[in-house]
Amino acid sequence: MSTFTTSDGTDIFYKDWGAGQPVVFSHGWPLNADAWDVQLRLVADHGFRAVAHDRRGHGRSGQPWQGNHMDQYADDLAELIEKLDLTDAILVGHSTGGGEVARYIGRHGTGRVAKAVLLGAVPPLMLKTENNPEGTPIDAFDEIRAGVAADRSQFYWDLSEAFYGFNLPGATQSEGARRAFWLWSMQVGLKGAYDCVKQFSETDFTGDLARIDVPTLVAHGDADQIVPIAAAALKTAQLVKNATLKVYPGAPHGLTGAYEQAFNADLLDFIRS
């Protein structure tokens, strides 16, 4: 396995496939780099270098007690990019990973970045506040924390249904997708999983989005039950200069089937342009 050790002593696992302009993928909560395998192979098959890591606390990376916060996630990504000496990189983030990409640019700039892709991403702010009435009430995130703390195995299995929209009318069920989601989720340490809920729900990325000065694809399903589009992509596309908004009608948070194929085509078009 390929790993490197961060400056605070945490081992980070990463995949590095293919050769060419680097495309760096950041995964959502509570998953790991395997969730990107289809896209990693896709871009590597088309002449790009595909890189993806397991966020600290997740998958095959270390599970430290400290450092499970968005600034550190972004700094870990920066250390990976610097270790591999990646330049002209295209950063792709899904859900919490989209927040990681935004915070990376907010803290480290775009000196090594050519483009960005935010898919079903949590910015600018998930939490409902007086200034963000489209957000999700704090009670929903308290329920996530309670579920993770009490019986995370059952919680992750139940979450997989809404994650992939299998509870929507006419949805094509995939037990395999749900089992994979559960398996990846169970690899997250309880401390890291619990801490990350606050990070993806309460972090305000507005200032980070303002620093994005490279072409950016903002992609989101309008049937996303996990990160509702009104508080996320619709606002992000207005805050990011040079943003292109792509809305997938009927698509859930986790893309499968025809929705995933549509995104894959848009991803290839965007990174080639």
Contacts 24+ apart (CB under 8 A), 256-260: 256/164, 256/174, 256/177, 257/172, 257/174, 259/221, 260/38
Q: 190-202 vs 96-108: helix axis angle to the nearest 10?
A: 70
The rounded Cα 7 to chain-centroid distance in angstroms is: 23
Give the pair of three-digit tokens for residue 244.
């292109």
For β-strands 21-26 and 11-18, DSSP reports them as unpaired
| Tokens (6 digits) for 120 | 């079903």
DSSP string, 216-248: EEEEEETT-SSS-GGGTHHHHHHHSTTEEEEEE
Residues 6+ apart with CB under 8 A from 91: 24, 26, 101, 104, 105, 113, 115, 116, 117
Closest by CA position to 18, among listed 52, 54, 46, 60? 46
The yes-or-no answer on residue 201 being catalytic is no
Q: Rounded to whole angstroms, what are the CA distances from 37 to 12, 34, 40, 42, 179?
A: 17, 5, 5, 8, 16
Catalytic-residue membership of 27: no
Active site residue 95: yes
Q: Which of 26, 61, 95, 160 is catalytic?
A: 95
> What are the residues facing 222 on neighbouring strands?
none
Enzyme catalytic residues: 95, 224, 253
